[in-house]
């Protein structure tokens, strides 16, 4: 009889644990995929001074990040098996990680140590599911550009990159004005001119037709990619099954944002056009070297596409995120991501500016398309099949790409003056992830690669920098030629 009572108590306890679970916020389809493939956001923050650990813990514990619901919740499955976010109490000591470092490495021997440490986090043991899925690693050692480094390891199911970076910036303040939030650059608005109603209606109708045409064209590409009919060329950098869990290498380099703007003005494009063109030119140089070592020529018909995640909803403002503790209802959060699939112009152009011009044409078509909403809705409406859809879309392309903006001025993050910011992701079924981050008038290129397919990501970084230099020279020559004609 006593055994029966004990069994009944166990059943009752389990039921009580599930009570109210189905009322918690459900996990989005994209977040379920990130959980399934164990995808993480890794972000390096170079610090100007050595970090006081206790002070850092106090600053993090009193920040909007620590108060945010995603950073104080865990994942649990309800009675129907659906994952949901369940609030819990986070312990700051569980999330600030200070590894033991050989102090003798604070010399020339430590070159690349920080990058190697960050890359190894990509294949580190999974985060403890009984605690919120994030960590902040602190390396109190000198590197080439910083006296110390903070490295975030955040499970991608917590939020998309834009939302996570916005929350980080909401925890920051201007170094020269500690009471003010940092300033994020805004796209320049073109001057408006008066136009007739007839012309306006005509242009709107024309834009609608172009939108429908390019959206239909992209829809066919999506269907072909999901059905495995359209797959990227099998280049030396194209990953294979299981590439997400393979050992990684990480490298980063920076160049002047003014140089990018000089090229942008020369081709009458955008910063994003120049960045994608720079990546294409860098990959051409990198792949051409590999094919030449095999006594082959670079194929002219390579299909190499990048998957560019795009946030489909409005991102909360910095002030809104900074005031989380004063609000009962917190900002909408999650992974509401769509994708642009962009084919890179991998050809040998005589004029370096042609890479930026080709990227401009491709990106202009994407801006007129509803592709990111189509990819988002495809996954959302497919329910439990969404994980397979996202996975196929990623595995049939070659690389992940993102271009993010950071504050224009130097910032203090958790009380630390930041010299550089280098974000990336690991775990996705790509052998290559390329991220660009603009901060303090510089653009930082971050390349994370599967060691088996690209053992030297620093070489691709240098190829991109050299390609940008050639494009800048071509832009200057073009400008000088126009001035002479005038």
Cβ within 8 Å of residue 347, ≥6 positions away? 284, 300, 358
CA-nearest of 274, 273, 282, 436 to 362 is: 273
Assigned token pair, 90: 């986070």
Residue of 398, 413, 410 whose CA lies nearest to 460: 398
Task: Report d(CA 415, CA 417) in Å as an integer.
Answer: 7
378 vs 393: CA distance, rounded Å: 11
DSSP code for 147: S
Bridge partners, residue 402, by sequence:
435
Q: Which two tokens stand for residue 292?
A: 């030449």
The encoded tokens of residue 343 equal 């084919």
Q: Are 424 and 437 in contact (CB under 8 A)?
A: no
In this structure, how many other beta carbons lie within 10 angstroms of the beta carbon of residue 78?
A: 16
Q: How far apart are the first and last CA of the chain?
A: 102
Spatial neighbors of 278 by CB under 8 A, at least 6 apart, are 260, 355, 356, 464, 467, 468, 471
CA 159 – CA 155 distance, rounded (Å): 8
Task: Indicate if 252 belongs to the active site.
Answer: no
Q: Residue 265 corresponds to which tokens in the numbers above?
A: 């003005």
Distance CA 267, CA 275 (A): 13
Catalytic residue among 40, 68, 156, 430: 156
Nearest to 138 by CA among 250, 4, 268, 47: 47
Taking the C-alpha atoms of residue 168 and residue 318, their distance in angstroms, rounded to an integer, is: 9
Sheet strand arrangement including 416-426 = 96-97, 134-139, 148-155, 40-47, 416-426, 411-413, 172-174
Return the SS3 of 75.
strand
Looking at residue 438, the DSSP 8-state letter turns out to be E
Which residues does the annotation mark as catalytic?
A: 156
């Amino acid at each position: 009889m006593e055994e029966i009572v004990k069994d009944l108590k166990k059943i009752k306890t389990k039921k009580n644990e599930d009570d109210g679970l189905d009322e918690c916020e459900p996990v989005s389809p994209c977040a379920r995929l990130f959980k399934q493939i164990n995808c993480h956001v890794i972000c390096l923050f170079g610090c100007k001074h050595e970090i006081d650990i206790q002070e850092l813990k106090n600053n993090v514990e009193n920040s909007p990040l620590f108060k945010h619901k995603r950073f104080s919740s865990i994942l649990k499955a309800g009675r129907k098996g659906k994952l949901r976010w369940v609030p819990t109490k986070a312990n700051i000591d569980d999330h600030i990680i200070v590894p033991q470092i050989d102090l003798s490495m604070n010399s020339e021997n430590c070159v690349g140590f920080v990058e190697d440490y960050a890359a190894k986090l990509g294949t580190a043991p999974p985060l403890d599911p009984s605690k919120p899925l994030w960590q902040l690693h602190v390396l109190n050692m000198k590197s080439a550009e910083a006296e110390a480094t903070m490295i975030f390891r955040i499970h991608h199911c917590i939020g998309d990159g834009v939302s996570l970076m916005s929350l980080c910036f909401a925890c920051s303040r201007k170094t020269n004005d500690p009471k003010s939030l940092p300033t994020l650059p805004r796209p320049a608005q073109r001057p408006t001119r008066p136009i007739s109603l007839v012309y306006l209606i005509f242009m709107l109708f024309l834009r609608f037709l172009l939108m429908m045409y390019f959206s239909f064209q992209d829809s066919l590409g999506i269907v072909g990619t999901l059905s495995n009919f359209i797959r990227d060329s099998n280049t030396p950098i194209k990953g294979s099954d299981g590439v997400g869990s393979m050992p990684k290498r990480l490298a980063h380099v920076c160049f002047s944002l003014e140089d990018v703007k000089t090229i942008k003005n020369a081709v009458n494009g955008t910063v994003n056009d120049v960045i994608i063109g720079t990546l294409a030119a860098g990959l051409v140089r990198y792949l051409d070297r590999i094919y030449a070592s095999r006594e082959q020529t670079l194929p002219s018909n390579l299909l190499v596409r990048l998957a560019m995640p795009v946030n489909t909803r409005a991102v909360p403002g910095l002030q809104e995120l900074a005031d989380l503790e004063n609000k009962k209802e917190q900002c909408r959060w999650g992974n509401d991501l769509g994708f642009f699939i962009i084919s890179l112009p991998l050809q040998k152009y005589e004029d370096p500016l042609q890479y930026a011009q080709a990227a401009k044409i491709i990106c202009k078509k994407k801006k007129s398309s509803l592709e990111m909403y189509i990819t988002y809705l495809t996954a959302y409406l497919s329910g439990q099949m969404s994980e397979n859809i996202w996975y196929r879309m990623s595995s049939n392309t070659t690389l992940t790409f993102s271009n993010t903006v950071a504050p224009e001025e130097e910032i203090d993050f958790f009380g630390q003056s930041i010299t550089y910011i280098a974000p990336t992701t690991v775990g996705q079924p790509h052998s290559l992830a390329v991220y660009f981050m603009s901060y303090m008038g510089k653009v930082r290129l971050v390349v994370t690669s599967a060691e088996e397919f690209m053992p030297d990501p620093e070489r691709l970084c240098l190829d991109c920098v050299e390609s940008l230099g050639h494009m800048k020279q071509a832009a200057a020559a073009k400008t000088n030629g126009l001035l002479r004609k005038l």
